[in-house]
Structure 1
Amino acid sequence: MDANRYSIPELVADVKRVCAQFDDEREIISKVRPLALRAAKSKDSWVEDRMYGANATQGFGVHLLHEEPDHSVAVLALAWLPNRGAPPHDHGTWAVVAGVQGPEKNEFFERVDDRSRTGHAELKKIGEKVCGEGDVVALPKGLIHSVWNESDSVSLSLHVYGKHVNHTGRSQFDLQKQTEMPFIVKVES
């Protein structure tokens, strides 16, 4: 076995150990960050051509690499079409994203409304970070971000979640209309 290679099954086993050992989300994220980065740097051990495929309507492709039967510890590869992305959204769980190939611009937001009106949401931009090969973005539960591939080619990133995002009741947000709605993505296996 090549000591420099780090497979998805190895990543999953390590993430499961971290989640069993720690309850604090910040501690989990701090331990998962280097694991996700190591897996991203070992892309030759798990990336397949099909993972660069993306749903044209969605603007990105979501490829399931691992999911526990109870939907915890989900690992996904996301391919972002050129000049496309995802609107502001939360995850309903913690997330660690490692850049594999190409840049992805993340913009971060906080809710500034009082949440008293169902379906209404006001967001304020609080920062941004471009995540490329060798970079990691850590997102605690509740943090809202958008993702955009500003390049002319498909970008790819590795996503590790505390729970599969289609099972968390997460939301997407429309900045102009100031609305909140459910966010479910199409996932390829």
Structure 2
Amino acid sequence: MNSRLLQTLLALSLLLNTFVLVGFVYRSWIEPPFGMYPPPPPRGGPGQPGQPGGPRFNPVEMVVRDLGLDGEQRQRMKDLFDRYANERRERLQEIQRVREQTGVELGRTPMDMSRVDGLIDQVSRLRAEQQKETLRTLLELQPSLRPDQRERLQDLLVDRVAPPPPPPRPPAGGPPRPPQ
């Protein structure tokens, strides 16, 4: 082989290797592999319900959205929704006041643990009352629902109020791993 042909082959090899390295760098460092990161959030401006920066739905509103109530059903239940929202707002404000009192008590020296215990119990009681009120409100929806919506409500209540227990964990040693 003459030296000119050898130099041409070496130049082509160098060019091919350069393209492979550039592709590797681009794929691994510049553009992440497909499916590596979650898709971007859905478009919609802040301030819209359910979007970042927008109002958050309360538990009853979330169930109502999942049930797919029509306009007439929503209108019939408007008083129930308004009453629930007002009671929830008042109870959450009361919880916030008690939490602030707890913060004040925790900042005192020496800390009165019996007072802190009482405030924690009060917050727990208020949260339990809120959960019971949510459940009562959801049950008050039933007479205004269609049969398919009632079934869906029952499923939602089971899933959200009393979810099934997690699957049992394998014993400490566990079963042997299958061959791969």
Query: TM-score band (shorter)?
Result: under 0.3
Larger fraction in strand: 1
Larger fraction in helix: 2
Q: TM-score, normalised by structure 2?
A: 0.24
- Higher normalized contact order (CA 8 Å, seq sep 6+, divided by chain length): 1
Q: TM-score, normalised by structure 1?
A: 0.23
> Rg larger in 1 or in 2?
2
